[in-house]
Amino acid sequence: MLDFTLTPEQLALQKKARDFALKEILPVAWYYDEIHETPMHVLRKAFDAGIMNGDIPVEYGGPGGGLLDAVIVTEELAAACPGLATSIFDNSLGMEPLILSSNDALKEKYLPRIAKEFKLICFATSEPTMGSDVSGIRCLAKEEGDHWVLNGTKHWITNAGIADYMSVFATVDPESQHKGICAFIVERDWEGVSSGQKIPKLGQRASNTAALNFKDVRVPKENVLAPPGEGFVLAMKTFGRTRPAIGAFAVGAARSAMEFAIDYAKKRRAFGDPIANFQAIQFKIAEMYQKVETARLLVWKAAWEADKGMDSTLTASMAKMYSSEAAQEVLGEALQILAGYGYTKLFPVEKLLRDTRLFKIYEGTSEIQRMIVSGFALGAYEPAMPPLEDLPIQRVVDPEEMSAQEEGGKAVWRCRMCGYVHYDEEPPDECPVCFFPKTAFKKA
């Protein structure tokens, strides 16, 4: 049974997130983008308002929200500023490996703290030499007595410059690929932990992005999120639960661009008419609306699957891939409708266009999502149709007459090369259409 109705609680959450986005994020979004700073007071307000950390389970002092709740909230935040939405949501990304981990004592140690105090936690798999290929991690973890010792650098880490805690993925042996990957919770003020200068970016400039460096960092064994061999799967499971939120960012940003374009199109006049009266503009708006709606449906489906305890990897990939690409298309058309004004920094679309470009890159590029989806389609997917070579397609023979021939002892032979169908006890010595030999024929 399908039901797309949001519950009264979800509608209230959506309203709360929208009010917060309009009141606390929208008025400051362009300023912090311009000066390339992350406004800590806005993050703090998001924490105080209960907009952040919605997924901390109830037993650890959180609201225990599901993924559908999270995507409803992130759509609203990203509609106001995708950069700030990224930094606010980053706590959920950083915490997800901990929530998924089987180390209950570690959950007890950190989750109540993050629920009660304003603490930021980031997520670090990427390195200067790898991003997509998580099995290529080089950050080294060495076991020494009751500690692990970390050495290496993580790159492109959202909130790296401001986070108190970090979920760090490392390896016991770079040659062993995914078999050596492990993960830890590391604290910023431990000896040997440092973060680099913030990385200057095209968009999402209100979100902090920096490198993390670990020099002989001693991590107590109790802080193991995943032992060697289990870190890779933990990272992939994390993405399965966080990629829908990236899709929701894209929906929010695209929705805003569409709304700005609709508003402009109704007011801007050309050739004596509002440009909204021109069919060329109306069709652009129809396609923008269709893309926003389709993207949201995919995002909600992925979130719903995860909330039901199903493996959401595939739908999460499709949701992220489709939404991030649809958002780019919507932004392109929105800017086209605003035309010259759209291209300026005095109107909102150029920032959204820059911010939106990142969705196709972080948490798995569009190419990686295509690998996941095509891997399934070409592998585990179970088709309803029989294989092509088993289809007796013969347009010139009446199917009933064909059945009569079969009943009369004649078999149906299909040339696997060109599709020609032959009715007889035996296949022909060679195909009369493509001249392939008898061996090309298969009984249909």
Judged by the rule CB under 6 A, the positions of this chain that interact with ligand FAD are 122-126, 130-133, 156-158, 201, 204, 209, 358, 361-365, 367-368, 371
- Decide: 80 and 22 in contact? Cβ < 8 Å: yes
Is-catalytic flag, 350? no
Strand order in the sheet with 421-424: 421-424, 411-415, 441-443
CA dist., res. 223 & res. 7, Å (int): 38
Name the residue whose CB lies closest to ligand FAD: 131
- Decide: 235 and 97 in contact? Cβ < 8 Å: yes
Minimum CB separation of residue 169 from ligand FAD in Å reads: 8
Helix (H) or strand (E) holding 121: strand 121-124
Smaller CB separation from ligand FAD, 97 or 342: 97
CA dist., res. 231 & res. 103, Å (int): 13
CA dist., res. 353 & res. 254, Å (int): 9
Smaller CB separation from ligand FAD, 144 or 367: 367
Minimum CB separation of residue 254 from ligand FAD in Å reads: 19
Q: What is the number of residues in the chain?
A: 444
Smallest Cα–Cα separation from 120: which of 84, 98, 91? 91
Smaller CB separation from ligand FAD, 139 or 172: 139
Minimum CB separation of residue 211 from ligand FAD in Å reads: 10
Smaller CB separation from ligand FAD, 32 or 362: 362
Minimum CB separation of residue 213 from ligand FAD in Å reads: 14
Smaller CB separation from ligand FAD, 183 or 276: 183
Scored b (16 or more CB within 10 A) or e, 121-140 reads: bbbbbbbeeebeebbebebb
**What are 380's two structure tokens?**
């585990």
Minimum CB separation of residue 199 from ligand FAD in Å reads: 7
- Decide: 169 and 182 in contact? Cβ < 8 Å: yes
Q: Which residues pair with 123 in a beta bridge?
A: 167
Please identify which of the residues 143, 363, 407, 426 carries the catalytic annotation: 363
Is the sign of the CA dihedral 257, 263, 269, 271 positive or negative? positive
Smaller CB separation from ligand FAD, 201 or 268: 201
Minimum CB separation of residue 20 from ligand FAD in Å reads: 22
Hey, which residues are catalytic here?
363
